Amino acid sequence: MAEAIARKEAGDVMQPSSAGLFPLGMICETTRTVLEGNHYSVEGLASKGLRDFPPHDVDLVVNMSGLAGPLTDAGYARVEHWTVADPYGADEGTYQTIFEEIQRHVRGLAGRLREDQGVKSTRGS
C-alpha cells in the first residue's frame, strides 16, 4: 500500500518503491481492493524484497516492520521508523484503517521533503 500511496501523494519529491524484509511474493487482493476503492492505482505493484535494493541506490528507507536490526546491518544510511501494523489476513476494514495510517505518514514525510527541497505541492489532499 505504501508504494501506491507515495506515488500519488509524493511523486513530486520521491521515487517510491516498496520492499519487504520477508516479501509475500504477491499483492494481497484486499490490498488491491482498498487501494482502488480509495482511487489509488495498483498498476505496476509487485512484491519485492529489500535485498533487491542495494544500500548505495537508496536515499531513505521507511521501516514499517518494527525490526530495526536488518536495516542497520544491511548498511542503509538513512532509515525512518513508522509503527504500522501488518494487516495481512485481516478484514477489509482493518486494511482501510492501515491505509489511512500509511497515508498520514506519507503526507507528513512528503511535506518535510517539500520543505527541505523548497517544493510546492501540486497534489490534492
With 60 as the cut, is the pLDDT of residue 35 above it?
A: yes
Mean pLDDT of 24-48: 95
- How much is the pTM? 0.88
C-alpha cell at 89: 489476513
Which one of 1.20.1560.10, 3.40.50.80, 3.40.50.2300, 2.60.120.620 gives the CATH number of domain 2-114?
3.40.50.2300
With 90 as the cut, is the pLDDT of residue 51 above it?
A: no
Residue 119 confidence (pLDDT): 61
Distance from chain centroid for Cα 66: 14
Domain ranges of the chain: 2-114
